[in-house]
Amino acid sequence: MNIHEYQAKELLADFGVGIPAGHAALTVEEAVEAAKKLPGPLYVVKAQIHAGGRGKGKFKELGPDAKGGVRLAKSIDEVRADAQDMLGNTLVTVQTGDEGKQVNRLYVTDGVDIAEEYYLALLVDRASGQVAMVVSTEGGMDIEDVAHSTPEKITTITIDPAQGFMPHHGRAVAFALKLDGDLNKQAQKLAKQLYEAFMALDGEMLEINPLVETKDGKLLVLDTKMSFDGNALYRHPKVEELRDETEEDPAEVEASKHDLAYIKLDGNIGCMVNGAGLAMATMDIIKLNGAFPANFLDVGGGATTEKVTAAFKIILSDPAVEGILVNIFGGIMKCDIIADGIVAAAKEVNLSVPLVVRLEGTNVEKGKEILENSGLPIVSGDNLGDAAEKIVAQVKKAA
């Protein structure tokens, strides 16, 4: 789960991390009030969307010469004008895709006199089973570009969670950032606070870009992105409350309500499968037959009629879907029960695209019979290869 920049900053502040003062705003008036609470005379108005690259982004509704989603304002009036410009409009950045994201929240924060910009991120490194702290002197730019053209400017320090953060980790971070004296000490302290926050909140990723050194010698977090391990959210009700569903794909939000694992993809064949491994194999075999899956969807072990119906509705809510392949192995759940569910669901959603079903497992013959006698144009697949061939052919025929 992702959260907004201002929310991540508020969480980090609880761990003692240095953050410029700022306030969130949902309306132009709130943005003005937020600015009035800050010392000035330099303010920064920042669009809050779940995507980076806002500074260089462009608003769809404003001309190509208009400023982006991170704006320096030199007076309260400028803050008001920037807020009016941004709220409700669509910001397109390198991370949003062409459709962009509507800006519904702003963050009004202190303008900082920047001397240097650095990069610091924490990640779960699955290969080593440790926390990786990725540090670079090249802040403020795309880290992917730095990794590509000057990989020597990136240092990775791994921390064993069983041992925890040790003073030498902090020294390594400060050394990688080439900091001396008091700034070196600040970097060591900051690295420790960030590690503590990351572990305490079950973070998945915490990226600070840029971390800045101010002209008066302070290290401050100027921009941050944070995401969390969804499986650990139950331990952090305070974090769970920060979820902004307007930032998520509506079909994925609906799927999570029914405990379905759904991810939208670019193709035109909707897939409904039980088990993640089988779902991956199903997507592969659709591709092998020259078509592309419209989604990954794992209905899980207990594929009840309600779940199957919800899954059909979610698949069909995607206008790109031109056919559906159901591939279910009846192990714990018997095939006849699943077939009943499929028939009931297909009737309820008024299925308008070809449907191929491949069932295997307990009571498979009974299941196939139910599909055949349903009066619905459901095609049975004898095995996975046959089912994939059939759905691809049906979709091609309809096109």
**Residues numbered 159-218 forming contacts with ligand ADP, rule: CB under 6 A:** 209-210
18 is an interface residue for ligand ADP by CB under 6 A = no
Which partner from the list ligand ADP, Mg ion, none does 192 bind, CB cut-off 5 to 8 Å by kind? none
**Per-residue x/- track, 130-159, ligand ADP (CB under 6 A):** ----------x-------------------
5 is an interface residue for Mg ion by CB under 5 A = no
Is 334 within 8 Å of 365 (Cβ atoms)? no
Which partner from the list ligand ADP, Mg ion, none does 54 bind, CB cut-off 5 to 8 Å by kind? ligand ADP
Indicate which single residue of 222, 333, 338, 359 sits in contact with ligand ADP (rule: CB under 6 A). 222
Shortest distance, position 225 Cβ to ligand ADP, whole Å = 8
Select from 46-54, 253-261, 262-270, 301-309 the region that touches ligand ADP (CB under 6 A): 46-54
Indicate which single residue of 3, 17, 19, 44 sits in contact with ligand ADP (rule: CB under 6 A). 44
Indicate which single residue of 116, 138, 204, 223 sits in contact with ligand ADP (rule: CB under 6 A). 223
Is 112 within 8 Å of 200 (Cβ atoms)? no
Total chain residues near ligand ADP (CB under 6 A): 19
* Catalytic status, residue 207: yes
Indicate which single residue of 48, 188, 209, 380 sits in contact with Mg ion (rule: CB under 5 A). 209
Select from 81-89, 92-100, 158-166, 203-211 the region that touches Mg ion (CB under 5 A): 203-211
Active-site option among 5, 116, 207, 360: 207
Active-site option among 119, 213, 247, 262: 119
SS3 of the chain: the string is CECCHHHHHHHHHCCCCCCCCEEEECCHHHHHHHHHCCCCCCEEEEECCCCCCCCCCEECCCCCCCCCCEEEECCHHHHHHHHHHHCCCEEECCCCCCCCEECCCEEEEECCCEEEEEEEEEEEECCCCEEEEEEECCCCCCHHHHHHHCHHHEEEEEECCCCCCCHHHHHHHHHHCCCCHHHHHHHHHHHHHHHHHHHHCCEEEEEEEEEEEECCCCEEECCEEEEECHHHHHHCHHHHCCCCHHHCCHHHHHHHHCCCEEEECCCCEEEEECCHHHHHHHHHHHHHCCCCECEEEECCCCCCHHHHHHHHHHHHCCCCCCEEEEEEEECCCCHHHHHHHHHHHHHHCCCCCCEEEEEEECCHHHHHHHHHCCCCCEEECCCHHHHHHHHHHHHHHHC
Closer residue to ligand ADP (CB): 106 or 392: 106
Indicate which single residue of 1, 8, 24, 70 sits in contact with ligand ADP (rule: CB under 6 A). 70
* Catalytic status, residue 262: no
Distances in whole angstroms, Cα of residue 55 to Cα of each of 41, 58, 92: 20, 8, 10
Shortest distance, position 265 Cβ to Mg ion, whole Å = 28
223 is an interface residue for Mg ion by CB under 5 A = yes
Picking from 83, 88, 104, the residue whose alpha carbon sits closest to that of residue 31 is 83
Shortest distance, position 16 Cβ to ligand ADP, whole Å = 19
For the chain, what's the residue count? Answer: 399
Closer residue to ligand ADP (CB): 80 or 264: 80
Helix-helix angle 181-200:5-13, to 10 degrees = 100
Indicate which single residue of 18, 40, 53, 300 sits in contact with ligand ADP (rule: CB under 6 A). 53
Select from 37-45, 223-231, 258-266, 303-311 the region that touches Mg ion (CB under 5 A): 223-231
Shortest distance, position 262 Cβ to ligand ADP, whole Å = 28
Residue ranges that bind ligand ADP, judged by CB under 6 A: 20, 44, 46, 52-55, 70, 109-112, 114, 117, 140, 209-210, 222-223
Positions annotated as catalytic residues are 119, 207
Give residues in contact with Mg ion (CB under 5 A): 209, 223
